[in-house]
């Protein structure tokens, strides 16, 4: 683990990604305590303020401090995105590995189904699911997880196919092991590395997808300080105070870039040949 | 003696790694004169190929060098990159191990051969093409005109290697490096390539550096031999001298490890006739699915046949060798017997009928174990040795049987490994040690039949000898029967009681090992026997 961190720090993308993601995680964990104001405290006299010494990032249409709202919102945004990705990855990895293990007609059936689901754009699929389940953060999370699973299944299957040909899997079959053991203990541990890389990159997508859902009013609901929702609300006041839309957008972009760089660095670090 | 063509003096090579420098070659001194063949023999990782690339001046950036490599007096280490480019291919040629990877799959064979001629001999495209055809005819290709237009995938391995050799000889170089040119080929093809090499060598008098791990082969073609071990030349001299009176301990060990058919490792007498342990009756294996649409439209079956009605039997405690070239269906049979392939026909094990995968229950799987060729791939890299060895104990052990650390320690000691290896991961072991772990895993269930699928061919000669010795020892202790699959005829003649020969999915011969020397054999078996290089002259 420490060895991998060291190798990541050696490449510029890896180091930068680690720093950005580290800062984001810091904001997630201790952010609320460092927020200078209550994120939901309204101040009618302090509306649409530009950044100043008093309000570092300015205030919104109700006079709420944007910095405080961002720090509080980090938890909702980033944690939700990570959980959604992890859930989607888990489902996708298991489906992909099982598909590769079974092979033949079952593999065809599973993968063609996955293809069919993948042909629906992920945002559309997420919208569909949220509309079916109702508007809420948890449903948005499930929707994103479900939207990600087919892609992860595809990635995992391609790696698992190579693992399936290895003799240790043949040895396990010849030994008479159960399918669950072979998939869980022989194959899955050997497909983890590329999946972890793919997952970090997808966290960035999840943050954006989540923000998009909130922006469309299908994810987090006001007065939550979820970043996507903040962008959505600020849109109407864009001409009055551009700061309101700028900061949460930048925060979303930063998370996306951070996780992308982390994924790049991780991919290089986990591949000893590079 | 005239000045040598290739003269390597005190050459050292280090690779820079994050952990410091690793020594690849240490004070190597060699010289090859015109008309000489120097056989460079060593095991994997000994630095043979590094030396070849050093001579070709194609080393990674992390390389640090010392000493000198001279080509007719010119020090290649001090030569500029541009001059080297003029020398490569023109004055030094190279023949690689695997012709299927050393030829570009997107260019026709003729284009690749003509390019060398255009570049180094200043011929026009048209002249080069004509010259190329002539060259191909010269290396014994029947239809050179056609061969020029073919792409690598349209030619067989032997044909491709002939093209590579023709390319290497095309510009009449002074020196050619052969890097295991026959290792990737089948026994009979390899024999033909060797004959071609001898012929061309005698005709052109080129100074050849022949790199190989195969002592028997080198003893046949080389005039001088150098033995390399961990980057150091431990011994060199005339072939007859080195093979008859090896001075260095490592050379002696290498020579002793070469399988010799006349040196039997097991009692020749086959186990007394009785009830066979396993009978394979008319087992056929077809690869590929029957296409659904094809069946509807009544199209011909496009399945590929792996085995065609193979019948054989193994007695309890018998070692049955199966030989044949790659693609002959040896491994297919092994996979059918362990339930990895669907098969038609019938297997009878200790009197029980096994007609399909469904009949292979736990008892059958316990009694029939398989060991694979590559230990790297047969041990899960994410599991510790302890976990790998505990699985068969958990699956097949009787309820009261021990599965603790002591039981695993015993398994490891059975294959002469320290019990402390249980906590290691496979990548922390050497190739030979990994294969021993795989053997320990197979023997954990106390099987009656162990199928060894080319288990020594990925190992070095000396390691191979110790693994074979271990197998023979285990066989004596437990009376286990082996189905020993290999392409190495010398090895199989050392240990097998009976030998089965397979060719393109058919079983062509099944004879006692003694009958291989005299007795009536299938013509294919005969040609296989003729193609195998006799082991190096027996050490006196």
A175-197 pLDDT per residue, tens: 888 899 999 889 988 888 888 88
ipTM: 0.79
Check pLDDT > 70 for residue B291.
no
- Enclosing H/E stretch for A261: helix A243-270
Using CA atoms, how far apart are residues A147 and A118, in angstroms rounded to an integer? 8
Select from B362, B378, B381 the Cβ nearest to the Cβ of A171: B378
Provide the 8-state DSSP code for B224. Answer: E
Residues of A in contact with B372 (CB under 8 A): 167, 170-171
User: Where does the pLDDT of residue A108 fall: very low under 50, low under 70, confident under 90, or very high at 90 and above?
Assistant: very high
Pairing state of beta strands B344-349 and B352-354? antiparallel
What pLDDT is stored for residue A99 in this prediction? Answer: 94
Q: Is A175 on the interface with B (CB under 8 A)?
A: yes
The pair of structure tokens assigned to A21 is 């993601």
Interface test with B, best of A103, A175, A182 (most B CBs within 10 A): A175
Q: How far is A115 from chain B (nearest CA, A)?
A: 21
Q: Is B384 on the interface with A (CB under 8 A)?
A: no
pLDDT, average across residues B361-372:
90
Closest chain B residue by Cα to residue A7: B18
Q: Find out whether B239 and B217 touch, Cβ atoms under 8 Å.
A: no
CB–CB contact B379 A190 (8 Å): no
Domains of chain B: 6-257 (3.40.50.300), 278-531 (3.40.50.300)
pLDDT over 70 for what percent of chain A?
A: 98
Classify A166 as helix, strand or coil.
Answer: coil
Q: Find out whether A81 and A207 touch, Cβ atoms under 8 Å.
A: yes
Average pLDDT, chain B: 86
Q: Which region among A146-155, A264-273, B117-126, B359-368 has the lowest average model confidence (pLDDT)? A: A264-273
Using CA atoms, how far apart are residues A229 and A211, in angstroms rounded to an integer? 7
How is the beta sheet containing B278-287 ordered, strand by strand? Answer: B304-314, B278-287, B344-349, B352-354
Whole-angstrom CA distances from B195 to A170, B58, B189, B240, B493 are 39, 29, 10, 20, 24
Residue B370, beta-bridge partner list: B451
- The residue with tokens 């280090």 is B14
- The residue with tokens 């599973």 is A110
In B301-458, where does DSSP find H-type helix?
330-337, 362-367, 375-378, 385-396, 405-414, 431-443
pLDDT tens track for B303-360:
778 888 888 889 888 899 999 887 788 888 999 999 888 888 889 988 888 888 888 8
The pair of structure tokens assigned to B15 is 């690779």
Check pLDDT > 90 for residue B532.
no
CB–CB contact B365 A176 (8 Å): yes
Using CA atoms, how far apart are residues B459 and B430, in angstroms rounded to an integer? 10
Considering only CA atoms, give the Rg of chain B: 26
Q: Find out whether B53 and B96 touch, Cβ atoms under 8 Å.
A: no
User: Where does the pLDDT of residue B295 fall: very low under 50, low under 70, confident under 90, or very high at 90 and above?
Assistant: low
Using CA atoms, how far apart are residues B79 and A273, in angstroms rounded to an integer? 31
Question: Which residues does B102 contact at the CB level (< 8 Å), separation at least 6?
Answer: B96, B164
Check pLDDT > 80 for residue B253.
yes
Q: In degrees to the nearest 10, what's the CA dihedral of B135, B139, B142, B147? A: -50
Using CA atoms, how far apart are residues A259 and B52, in angstroms rounded to an integer? 45
Q: Find out whether A87 and A139 touch, Cβ atoms under 8 Å.
A: no
CB–CB contact A173 B381 (8 Å): no
Question: Which residues does B517 contact at the CB level (< 8 Å), separation at least 6?
Answer: none
What pLDDT is stored for residue B458 in this prediction? Answer: 82
- In chain B, the N- to C-terminal Cα span, in Å, equals 30
The pair of structure tokens assigned to B182 is 């026959």
Using CA atoms, how far apart are residues B433 and B441, in angstroms rounded to an integer? 12
Q: Find out whether B122 and B138 touch, Cβ atoms under 8 Å.
A: no
Q: Find out whether A6 and A256 touch, Cβ atoms under 8 Å.
A: no
Q: Enumerate residues 109 to 128 of chain A having a beta carbon within 8 A of any beta carbon in chain B.
A: none
In A134-242, where does DSSP find H-type helix?
137-164, 167-175, 179-181, 188-215, 227-234
Using CA atoms, how far apart are residues B155 and A268, in angstroms rounded to an integer? 38
User: Where does the pLDDT of residue B402 fall: very low under 50, low under 70, confident under 90, or very high at 90 and above?
Assistant: low
Cis peptide bond prior to B370, omega within 30° of 0: no
The pair of structure tokens assigned to A181 is 């053991």
Closest chain B residue by Cα to residue A186: B380
- Enclosing H/E stretch for B485: strand B481-486
Interface test with B, best of A174, A178, A188, A196 (most B CBs within 10 A): A174
Q: Is the torsion defined by CA of B365, B366, B368, B372 positive or negative?
A: positive
Residues of B in contact with A182 (CB under 8 A): none
Residues of A in contact with B390 (CB under 8 A): none
Q: Is A170 on the interface with B (CB under 8 A)?
A: yes
Q: The whole model's pTM is what?
A: 0.81
pLDDT, average across residues B255-262:
81
Q: In degrees to the nearest 10, what's the CA dihedral of B109, B115, B118, B120? A: -120
- Enclosing H/E stretch for B209: strand B207-212
Select from A104, A174, A177 the Cβ nearest to the Cβ of B340: A174
Closest chain B residue by Cα to residue A171: B378
Phi-psi group of B307: left, alpha or beta (phi > 0 → left; psi -120 to 50 → alpha; rest → beta): beta
Q: Is B255 on the interface with A (CB under 8 A)?
A: no
Q: Classify residue B80 as exposed, middle or buried by CB count within 10 Å of its CB (0-12, 13-18, 19+).
A: exposed
Using CA atoms, how far apart are residues A64 and A229, in angstroms rounded to an integer? 14
Q: How far is A174 from chain B (nearest CA, A)?
A: 6
Check pLDDT > 50 for residue B538.
no
Q: Is A103 on the interface with B (CB under 8 A)?
A: no
Question: Which residues does B393 contact at the CB level (< 8 Å), separation at least 6?
Answer: B401, B402, B403, B407, B408, B444, B445
- In chain A, the N- to C-terminal Cα span, in Å, equals 18
The pair of structure tokens assigned to B165 is 């050799």
Q: Find out whether A222 and A233 touch, Cβ atoms under 8 Å.
A: yes
Classify B52 as helix, strand or coil.
Answer: helix
Residues of B in contact with A186 (CB under 8 A): 380
Interface test with A, best of B60, B287, B382, B441 (most A CBs within 10 A): B382
CB atoms within 10 A of CB B303: 13
pLDDT, average across residues B40-58:
87
Cβ pairs bridging A and B (under 8 Å): 51
pLDDT, average across residues B417-432:
88
Q: Is B372 on the interface with A (CB under 8 A)?
A: yes
Residues of B in contact with A175 (CB under 8 A): 365, 391-392, 395
Q: Classify residue A165 as exposed, middle or buried by CB count within 10 Å of its CB (0-12, 13-18, 19+).
A: exposed
Using CA atoms, how far apart are residues B465 and B167, in angstroms rounded to an integer? 37
Q: Is A10 on the interface with B (CB under 8 A)?
A: no
Check pLDDT > 60 for residue B456.
yes
- The residue with tokens 């093979």 is B243
Classify B248 as helix, strand or coil.
Answer: coil
pLDDT, average across residues A133-145:
86
Check pLDDT > 70 for residue B174.
yes
The pair of structure tokens assigned to B526 is 């005969």
pLDDT tens track for B122-166:
889 999 999 999 999 988 888 888 889 999 988 888 899 999 999
The pair of structure tokens assigned to A34 is 């460092």
What pLDDT is stored for residue B539 in this prediction? Answer: 41
The pair of structure tokens assigned to A3 is 């060895």
Domain ranges of chain A: 2-270
Select from A168, A175, A176 the Cβ nearest to the Cβ of B380: A168
Q: How far is A187 from chain B (nearest CA, A)?
A: 9
pLDDT, average across residues B353-374:
88
Q: Which region among A257-271, B371-385, B482-496 has the lowest average model confidence (pLDDT)? A: A257-271
The domain A2-270 is classified under which CATH number: 3.60.140.10, 1.10.540.10, 3.30.70.600, 1.10.3720.10? 1.10.3720.10
Select from A170, A186, A189 the Cβ nearest to the Cβ of B340: A170
pLDDT, average across residues A154-162:
92
Q: In degrees to the nearest 10, what's the CA dihedral of B457, B460, B464, B467? A: -110
Considering only CA atoms, give the Rg of chain A: 22
The pair of structure tokens assigned to B228 is 């390399």
* B140-158 as b/e: b if 16+ CB within 10 A: bbeebeebbebbbeebebb
Question: Which residues does B23 contact at the CB level (< 8 Å), separation at least 6?
Answer: B12, B13, B14, B231
Q: Find out whether B367 and B450 touch, Cβ atoms under 8 Å.
A: no
Q: Is B374 on the interface with A (CB under 8 A)?
A: yes
Closest CA to A194 of A246, A236, A158: A158
Using CA atoms, how far apart are residues B402 and B390, in angstroms rounded to an integer? 10
pLDDT, average across residues B416-436:
89
Using CA atoms, how far apart are residues B29 and A75, in angstroms rounded to an integer? 67
The pair of structure tokens assigned to B123 is 């011929």
pLDDT, average across residues B440-454:
92
Q: Classify residue A123 as exposed, middle or buried by CB count within 10 Å of its CB (0-12, 13-18, 19+).
A: middle
Using CA atoms, how far apart are residues B48 and B97, in angstroms rounded to an integer? 12
Provide the 8-state DSSP code for B423. Answer: G
């Amino acid at each position: 683990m420490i060895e991998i961190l060291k190798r990541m720090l050696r490449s510029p993308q890896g180091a930068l990604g680690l720093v950005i993601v580290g800062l984001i995680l810091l904001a997630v964990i201790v952010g609320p305590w460092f927020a200078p104001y209550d994120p939901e405290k309204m101040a009618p006299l302090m509306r649409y303020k530009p950044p100043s010494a008093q309000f570092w990032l300015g205030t919104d249409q109700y006079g709420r401090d944007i910095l405080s709202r961002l720090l509080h919102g980090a938890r909702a945004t980033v944690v939700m995105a990570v959980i959604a990705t992890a859930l989607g990855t888990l489902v996708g990895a298991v489906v992909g590995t099982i598909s590769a293990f079974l092979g033949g007609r079952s593999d065809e059936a599973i993968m063609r189904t996955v293809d069919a689901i993948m042909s629906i754009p992920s945002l559309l699929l997420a919208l569909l699911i949220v509309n079916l389940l109702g508007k809420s953060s948890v449903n948005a999370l499930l929707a994103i997880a479900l939207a990600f699973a087919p892609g992860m299944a595809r990635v995992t299957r391609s790696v698992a196919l190579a693992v399936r040909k290895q003799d240790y899997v043949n040895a396990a079959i010849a030994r008479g092991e159960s399918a669950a053991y072979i998939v869980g203990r022989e194959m899955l541990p050997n497909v983890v590395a590329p999946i972890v890389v793919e997952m970090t990159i997808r966290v960035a997508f999840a943050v954006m997808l989540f923000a998009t859902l909130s922006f469309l009013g299908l994810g987090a609901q006001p007065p939550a300080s979820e970043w996507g929702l903040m962008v959505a609300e600020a849109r109407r006041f864009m001409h009055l105070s551009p700061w309101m839309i700028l900061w949460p957008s930048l925060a979303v972009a930063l998370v996306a870039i951070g996780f992308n760089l982390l994924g790049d660095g991780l991919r290089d670090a986990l591949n000893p040949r590079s | 003696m005239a000045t040598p063509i290739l003269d390597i003096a005190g050459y050292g090579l280090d690779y820079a790694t994050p952990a410091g420098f690793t020594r690849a070659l240490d004070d190597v001194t060699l010289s090859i004169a015109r008309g000489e063949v120097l056989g460079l023999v060593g095991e994997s990782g000994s630095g043979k190929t590094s030396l070849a690339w050093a001579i070709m001046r194609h080393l990674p950036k992390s390389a640090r060098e010392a000493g000198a490599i001279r080509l007719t007096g010119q020090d290649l280490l001090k030569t500029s990159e541009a001059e080297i480019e003029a020398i490569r291919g023109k004055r030094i040629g190279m023949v690689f191990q695997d012709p299927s990877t050393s030829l570009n799959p997107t260019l026709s064979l003729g284009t690749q051969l003509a390019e060398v001629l255009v570049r180094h001999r200043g011929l026009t495209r048209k002249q080069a093409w004509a010259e190329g055809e002539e060259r191909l005819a010269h290396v014994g290709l029947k239809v050179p005109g056609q061969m020029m237009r073919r792409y690598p995938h349209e030619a067989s391995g032997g044909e491709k290697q002939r093209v590579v050799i023709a390319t290497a000889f095309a510009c009449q170089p002074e020196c050619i490096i052969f890097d295991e040119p026959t290792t990737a080929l089948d026994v009979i093809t390899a024999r033909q390539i060797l004959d071609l090499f001898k012929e061309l060598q005698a005709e052109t008098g080129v100074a050849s550096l022949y790199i190989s791990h195969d002592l028997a082969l080198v003893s046949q073609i080389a005039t001088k031999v150098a033995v390399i071990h961990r980057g150091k030349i431990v011994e060199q001299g005339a072939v007859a001298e080195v093979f008859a009176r090896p001075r260095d301990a490592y050379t002696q060990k290498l020579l002793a490890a070469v399988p010799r058919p006349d040196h039997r490792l097991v009692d020749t007498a086959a186990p007394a006739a009785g009830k066979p342990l396993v009978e394979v009756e008319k087992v056929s294996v077809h690869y590929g699915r029957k296409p659904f649409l094809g069946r509807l439209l009544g199209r011909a079956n496009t399945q590929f046949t792996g085995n065609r009605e193979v019948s054989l039997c193994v007695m309890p405690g018998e070692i049955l060798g199966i030989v044949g070239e790659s693609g002959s269906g040896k491994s297919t049979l092994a996979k059918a017997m362990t339930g990895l392939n669907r098969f038609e026909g019938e297997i009878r094990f200790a009197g029980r009928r096994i007609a399909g995968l469904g009949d292979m229950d736990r008892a059958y799987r316990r009694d029939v174990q398989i060991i694979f060729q590559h230990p790297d791939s047969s041990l899960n890299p994410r599991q510790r040795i302890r976990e790998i060895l505990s699985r068969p104990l958990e699956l097949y052990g009787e309820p009261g049987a021990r599965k603790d650390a002591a039981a695993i320690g015993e398994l490891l000691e059975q294959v002469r490994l320290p019990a402390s290896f249980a906590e290691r991961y496979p990548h922390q072991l050497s190739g030979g040690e990994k294969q021993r772990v795989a053997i320990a895993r197979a023997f954990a269930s106390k099987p009656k039949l162990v199928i060894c699928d080319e288990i020594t061919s990925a190992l070095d000669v000396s390691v191979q000898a110790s693994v074979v010795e271990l197998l023979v020892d285990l066989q004596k202790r437990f009376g286990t029967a082996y189905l020993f699959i290999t392409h190495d005829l010398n090895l199989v003649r050392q240990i097998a009681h009976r030998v089965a020969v397979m060719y393109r999915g058919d079983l062509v011969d099944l004879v006692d090992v003694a009958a291989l020397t005299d007795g009536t054999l299938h013509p294919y078996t005969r040609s296989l026997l003729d193609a195998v290089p006799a082991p190096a002259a027996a050490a006196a």
